[in-house]
């Protein structure tokens, strides 16, 4: 299995670190990964060194099958590509020789992660509706929208709503007619521990948006759910939009409409 993703650190191999020891009398064996095995080939037991893999963050994966162009979603091979034969159940300990299997390449998932989307589908429902309405305007294009858990920070607990429920953030990316990009960033404060405004921002030239957003999120968690002052160093423009005031009678549609107008004005203004 070949792992390749920027979130993967270099593999670590060392002696005395828990790796499986190779028998002293083992001979060197050259493995041919191209030619298909046949029934005439004699099965051999090969001892391989164990390599450790560490991740900078939680890694979600999907298989993109060989022969298909690699993408963030993966694509299954049609039944026509594989001859229809009667299936035979085999266990991982059963000796097998001959046959073939479609190899796969593991990839990091992007916005198409259905499981995560379904898991957080009920978060930011009102803001999602507002964003969908704004996206229908002719001069603003919604490029992407994602809802993910806040990154954990050592000795901080604000990345969680409670012991089991993660606190999420919503990030929406828009494109203006002149090609400039705007980002809307919202953090879930439904537990009422803190109040935070919605941030709308662009990034200065030379700033990597993805790295900067990750830094903002971590500093926000570390700062007990306060937007970091350092945002002004990297973001231009940087604007705040306050939430509509809650009412005991439920959602005030007039207030929500005004909220949408404020967000849209901040997105459109240069």
User: What does the pLDDT read at residue 139?
Assistant: 87
User: Taking each helix axis from N to C terminus, what angle separates 253-268 and 125-135, rounded to the nearest 10 degrees?
Assistant: 50
Same domain, 122 and 254: yes
Cβ of 175: how many Cβ atoms within 10 Å?
A: 14
Q: Is the pLDDT of residue 265 over 60?
A: yes
Same domain, 105 and 151: no
Same domain, 119 and 194: yes
The separation between CA 27 and the C-alpha centre of its own chain, rounded to angstroms, equals 43
Q: Which residues contact 69 (CB under 8 A, 6 or more apart)?
A: 75
User: What does the pLDDT read at residue 13?
Assistant: 47
CB 59 within 8 A of CB 108: yes
pTM score, whole prediction: 0.57
Mean pLDDT on 226-237: 92
Same domain, 40 and 104: yes
User: What does the pLDDT read at residue 235?
Assistant: 94
Where does residue 63 rank: exposed (0-12), middle (13-18), buried (19+ CB within 10 A)? middle
Question: 3-class SS at 94?
Answer: coil
Domain total of the chain: 2
Tokens matching residue 191: 């537990």
Mean pLDDT on 84-111: 50
Same domain, 139 and 252: yes
36 domain residue, yes or no: yes
pLDDT digit string (tens) for 4-14?
A: 555 555 544 44
Same domain, 128 and 262: yes
86 domain residue, yes or no: no
Same domain, 143 and 257: yes
Tokens 């993660």 correspond to 166
Question: 3-class SS at 209?
Answer: helix
Tokens matching residue 128: 């999602």
Same domain, 54 and 120: no
CB 141 within 8 A of CB 135: yes
Range of the domain at 7: 1-78+99-110
85 domain residue, yes or no: no
Nearest in space to 158 (alpha carbons), one of 169, 146, 145, 147: 169
Residues in the chain: 270
Residue 99 or 239, more confident: 239
User: What does the pLDDT read at residue 132?
Assistant: 93
Q: Is the pLDDT of residue 159 over 60?
A: yes
């Amino acid at each position: 299995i070949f792992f390749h993703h920027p979130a993967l650190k270099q593999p670590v191999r060392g002696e005395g670190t828990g790796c499986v020891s190779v028998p002293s009398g083992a001979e060197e064996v050259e493995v041919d990964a191209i030619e298909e095995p046949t029934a005439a080939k004699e099965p051999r037991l090969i001892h391989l060194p164990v390599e450790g893999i560490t991740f900078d963050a939680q890694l979600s994966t999907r298989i993109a099958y060989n022969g298909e162009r690699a993408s963030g979603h993966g694509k299954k091979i049609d039944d026509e590509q594989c001859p229809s034969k009667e299936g035979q159940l085999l266990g991982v300990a059963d000796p097998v020789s001959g046959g073939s299997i479609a190899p796969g390449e593991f990839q990091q998932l992007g916005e198409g992660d259905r499981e995560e989307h379904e898991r957080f589908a009920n978060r930011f429902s009102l803001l999602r509706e507002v964003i969908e309405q704004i996206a229908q305007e002719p001069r603003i294009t919604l490029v992407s929208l994602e809802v993910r858990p806040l990154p954990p920070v050592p000795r901080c607990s604000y990345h969680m709503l409670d012991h089991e429920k993660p606190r999420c953030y919503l990030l929406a990316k828009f494109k203006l007619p002149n090609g400039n990009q705007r980002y809307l960033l919202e953090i879930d404060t439904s537990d009422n521990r803190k109040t935070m405004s919605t941030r709308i921002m662009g990034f200065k030239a030379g700033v990597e948006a993805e790295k900067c957003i990750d830094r903002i999120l971590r500093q926000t968690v570390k700062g007990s759910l306060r937007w970091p002052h350092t945002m002004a160093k990297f973001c231009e423009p940087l604007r705040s939009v306050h939430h509509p005031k809650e009412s005991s009678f439920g959602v005030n549609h007039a207030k929500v409409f005004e909220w949408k107008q404020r967000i849209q004005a901040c997105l459109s203004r240069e």
